Structure 1
Amino acid sequence: MPFAHGAACPPPRPTGMGDVPEPCPQAPLAVLSKVELRVSCKHLLDRDTLNKSDPCVLLLMQTQGQWMEVDRSEVIKSNLNPVFAKIFTVDYYFEEVQKLRFEVYDSHGQAGLGTHDDDFLGGMECTVGQIVAQKRVTKPLFLKYGKFAGKSTITIISEEISGNNGYVELAFRAKKLDDKDLFSKSDPFLEIYRIDDDRSEQLVYRTEVVKNNLSPIWEPFKVSLNSLCSCEEKRKLRCVVWDYDSRGKHDFIGEFFTTFEEMQKAMGENKVQWDCMNPKYKIKKRNYKNSGVVVLLDLKIHRVYSFLDYIMGGCQIHFTVAIDFTASNGDPRNSCSLHYINPYQPNEYLKALVAVGEICQDYDSDKKFSALGFGARIPPKYEVSHDFAINFNPDNDECEGIQGVVESYQSCLPKIQLYGPTNVAPIISKVARVAADEERTKEASQYFILLILTDGVVTDMADTREAIVRASYLPMSIIIVGVGNADFTDMQILDGDDGVLRSPKGEPVLRDIVQFVPFREFKNASPTALAKCVLAEVPKQVVEYYSYKTPPHSPGVAWGQTGSPQGPALPQPPPGWDTVKVPVQDTPSTARSRWSVPCGPVPTPAVPSVPSVPASLSL
């Protein structure tokens, strides 16, 4: 198969010998099905004259017909049979064909990856589904125009990340290691391998090199429990200490075997140590004791919570719908109106309401939904309101289930006069006030979803942006569905997909909480397609909101257990949150510098601290 390897290779970024992956600033979100991919190659072409190739792997995914780089591995010096420490993580969707391309290049140090024919070592295409179904895929590498790259092969091993996964933070050091260098001391690094059921070994982590030191202290690192031991405490692990060689011919110092169960003895102030053994020395030398000692200085276990964890922990989804009753919808008595009630065919407002509401009601125990309207003159004085209950009960705007909302909507239409303008900031602020009140309670167990149905671009854009920025600090998500054939280009501003939404004062949103979808894109699709699209980001937004707070905790539950029957307790509100005021708006008015071998952990960064609220958001 042909490979446009030159075009596919993007501008180089540092992947040299001194690079150490930087921790991500946010906790990983266990929302989607994710798959880890491990890569190794054999019999690569030797492109270097005086040495062997220095291979690096690029992972690309096809998006809208274009190949886009997802990530790349570290560079392994002078090795034609590399086992890469980098673990690629991709989202897995059963209903989609996700095409992947793996490209192997010979790196040139600081110059980065080459783009010439002589630098391309081969490529392979497959799908995520193929890798997941087979779990282990070995295929030949191809050069340009479908030519085989000699006997070169690439092996991809997949592993699904459990939604109940967590990660572990480890800190190792060694003492009195054997000296393998003639004129200096050893340059040790540590590798950890997981031994699978078929007795094969999977590289979990490779530390940096500590130069010229027989008692090195390696940097603490993080790996997922799934990667380390497949979430099985008794699974055997093999740990190997090497003396680094710049030509790739690393000298074996010693090894030891352990389990995660044994490692856990290092929690708290305890330490665990192992003799680093060289089997050859043990046989040849009668008085051989060890080739040094490896010490686990510290171990910390962190659980990563999923959307389901919070739902099982008691989180309730409170659903509010806001309906546009501006005059641009047309007279409801006219069959051309977007509000026309056809006894045989629901209008677009009802279709969107039912599609989204029927899913949300499964997460609300009382099945009561708030139903609001805006942009109409309402009785008794027929003054314009941008925030009224469509059941005309100002003390209780809730309806019994989705059917209750539908009935209130249909009975409301003959009683109001469609007017304008299209102001949505008052309704966003109203729901935000309720969310803020919930935030201050001890339980803080409700998350609010506001569905706004509108036929045009909002006219109070500045106030709406301000309200969204404030709401991003609260347990709240906003879904906007545009009905009719209006030009909704300007509405994309509110959906943070093209950049960070900011208030008129320049304050950014804390989280991306808005999803905008034109209904016409789903006019001929099933209701489930619309619901799937507009609700796709909500689980992520829920987890992201709680990730900024103290992680849930189930007292007395050891690692490996499922937790209490009620699930994890919901986190408490962050200190000082009660200083944030949501305004009332009745009228319209967010490396290490040491020399190191290529190393790479499973991407499992630390839980972030609670962010500070911008001063300008406090009124």
Structure 2
Amino acid sequence: RRRICVCFHSGIPGKKCGTVILSAEELGNCRDYATMQFCANKLDKKDFFGKSDPFMVFYRSNEDGTFTICHKTEVVKNTLNPVWEPFSIPVRALCNGDYDRTIKVEVYDWDRDGSHDFIGEFTTSFKELCRGQNQLNVYEVINLLGPFFPSQVSLLSFMTLTSLFLKGNPSQSTSLHYMNPYQMNAYAMALKAVGEIIQDYDSDKMFPALGFGAKLPPDWRVSHEFPLNGNVDNPYCNGMEGILEAYHQSLKTVQLYGPTNFAPVVNHVARYAAAVQDGSQYFVLLIITDGVISDMAQTKEAIVNAAKLPMSIIIVGVGQAEFDAMVELDGDDVRISSRGKVAERDIVQFVPFRDYMDRTGNHVLSMARLAKDVLAEIPDQLISYMKSRAIKPNPVPVYSPSDEPPTNPV
């Protein structure tokens, strides 16, 4: 990056000369877009009648220490706890590709006459925003000119289009969904490794398989719970081979697209589990993802609600992205919570696929280790549900010699 100062001098004899200084900054070669969403809690009340009509203004910091407006949110009327709509912005406009550069955000109460009341401000950076929704992206809104008021702005979701391109066109070798004619991609390998173990615990081996984050023909609407086999009325696939076949076929017909929402598929399985809570069935949801998540708050709420149902969730992360959001969903260190409600049980197990890639190329050993660690918590999760509902196992049937089928003579 460069700073360029150009001085223009113009003068007429006998009159004072003027000087114009032009400062310019070279734009970084960054073509990414960022999509994000914010909410606020307990904003300062500025209107005498009613509450406030808050909006936010984002500023990019310049190399000379000044700030330039790069985005304004919409106004949310009459609330102290607004949830603004998601918005997309070029990363160049936000920070010129400098991930550590300060981003200043001001919060105002909108007034019809244009004299908007200043509520407060906070600073962040693109690097901090990339962490997604977590405690580090909850900001105190400070007004140094007024009395202290405990207002907060929180990041609800964050995503860059770079992640989508990595996930994108399956015909490109850079895609995590790349269909290599000689070997399975990471999605297929993870599905096969885990699925071939858990399928033996299903009597008919018929499994509903759903995709999320894609545009579907013919109207190319975005869906977050579409059947891989294309059959809305019957999304079931016959065994792991059937799921893999449906997965490969879907890649030829849908257009992978953001945002990436987990909550719809979690709620989809939860509806099945809610209908059978007598202990006769237990549901396991396997999610294979590149780590991008756009609806963290909604997903956490869905998991908290599902924790009281007979179900477990396995998440396998593929690719080289940071999986901080997936670790948070796992809940091993801190039990997941939503809206002040803590999950009744820990039902999520997350593992990063890259940790199981054998350097010698022994995929059989790698997949065996992956399946072992992924399924390690399922037995305890199942037992914890049964105990919480006081459901006892059925007695072991007693067989008499007469129950044995006759043997065929040799």
Amino acid at match of 2:326: M
Give the Å deviation of 1:456: 2.1
Shift of 1:553: 6.2
1:377-388 counterparts in 2 under 5 A? Answer: 377-388=215-226
Q: For the residues of structure 1 that align with 2:392 and 2:398, how far apart are their CA atoms?
A: 14
Write the distance in 1 (CA, Å) between the matches of 2:379 and 2:166.
34
Determine the structure 2 residue equivalent to 1:550.
390
Check conservation: 1:387, 1:427, Cα contact below 8 A: yes
Instruction: Map Cα deviations across residues 187-206 of structure 1 (whole Å, 9 max, x no partner).
Output: xxxxxxxxxxxxxxxxxxxx
Of 298, 302, 315 in structure 2, the residue corresponding to residue 463 of structure 1 is 298
Distance 1:553 1:404, change over 3 A: closer
Aligned to 1:508: 342
Whichever residue aligns with residue 345 of structure 2, its letter is R
How many Å separate the matches in 2 of 1:414 and 1:326? 17
1:398 alignment counterpart: 236
Q: After superposition, where does 1:333-344 map in structure 2 within 5 Å?
A: 333-344=171-182
Q: For residues 157-556 of structure 1, what are the structure 2 equivalents within 5 Å?
A: 327-439=165-277, 444-503=279-338, 505-524=339-358, 526-552=366-392
Cα distance in 2 between the residues matched to 1:565 and 1:481: 41
Contact persistence 2:279–2:386 (CA under 8 A) = no
In 2, are the aligned partners of 1:326 and 1:376 still within 8 Å (CA)?
Answer: no
State the shift of 1:444 in Å. Answer: 4.2
The match for 2:397 among 540, 564, 568 is 564
Taking only aligned residues, the RMSD between alpha carbons, in angstroms, comes to 1.7
Which letter maps to 2:397?
S
SS of alignment partner, residue 394 of structure 1 = coil
Deviation at 1:363? 0.6
Corresponding letter in the other structure for 2:288: L
- Distance in 1 (alpha carbons) for counterparts of 2:393 and 2:317: 40
User: After the TM superposition, which parts of structure 1 deviate over 2 Å for at least 4 consecutive aligned residues?
Assistant: 325-328, 562-566
Secondary structure in 2 matching 1:497? coil
Deviations 1:544-590, CA, capped at 9 Å, x for gaps: 10011224265xxxxxxx74249xxxxxxxxxxxxxxxxxxxxxxxx
Residues 451 and 527 of structure 1, relative CA distance in 2, 3 Å threshold: same
Distance 1:360 1:563 in 2: 22
Whole-angstrom CA distance in 2 between matches of 1:327 and 1:375? 13
Give the Cα separation in 1 of the matches to 2:312 and 2:204.
20
Shift of 1:327: 4.6
Using the TM superposition, give the Cα deviation of residue 328 of structure 1 relative to its aligned residue in structure 2, in angstroms.
Answer: 3.8
In 2, the alpha carbon distance for the partners of 1:400 and 1:427 equals 20
- The 5 A counterparts of 1:57-136 are none
Quickly say closer, same or farther: Cα 1:542–1:437, change in 2 above 3 A.
Answer: same
Amino acid at match of 1:425: A
- Please list the CA deviations of residues 225-249 of structure 1 after superposition, one character each: whole Å capped at 9, or x if unmatched: xxxxxxxxxxxxxxxxxxxxxxxxx
Moved more, 329-338 or 350-359: 329-338
Q: 1:553 to 1:417 in 2, by over 3 A?
A: closer
Provide the secondary structure at the position in 2 that maps to 1:521. helix
Alpha-carbon separation, structure 2, partners of 1:482 and 1:507: 26
Q: Distance in 1 between matches of 2:393 and 2:281?
A: 18
CA shift in 2, pair 1:465/1:553, >3 Å? closer
Structure 1 residue 330: Cα displacement: 2.8
Alpha-carbon distance between aligned partners in 2 of 1:539 and 1:510, rounded to the nearest angstrom: 17
Q: Aligned equivalents of 2:227 and 2:164: distance in 1? A: 15
Give a deviation string over 1:261-303, Cα, whole Å, max 9, x none.
Answer: xxxxxxxxxxxxxxxxxxxxxxxxxxxxxxxxxxxxxxxxxxx
| Larger gyration radius, structure 1 or structure 2 | 1
Give the percent of matched residue pairs that are identical in Structure 1 and Structure 2. Answer: 55
Gaps of 5+ in 2: 1-162, 359-364, 400-410
**Consecutive unaligned residues in structure 1, runs of 5 or more:** 1-324, 555-561, 567-619
Q: Which amino acid aligns with 1:529?
A: R
**Residues 425-452 of structure 1, C-alpha deviation per residue, up to 9 Å, x if partnerless?**
011001000110122xxx5411111011
Letter in 2 for 1:514: V
Amino acid in structure 2 at the alignment position of 1:532: K
Count the aligned residue pairs: 231
Letter in 1 for 2:310: P
Report the structure, 1 or 2, having the larger helix content: 2
Structure 1 residue identity aligned to 2:211: G
Rounded to whole Å, the distance in 2 between the matches of 1:478 and 1:563 is 29
Aligned partners of 2:210 and 2:235 also within 8 Å: yes
**Aligned-pair CA distance for 1:387:** 0.7
User: Aligned equivalents of 2:323 and 2:393: distance in 1?
Assistant: 43
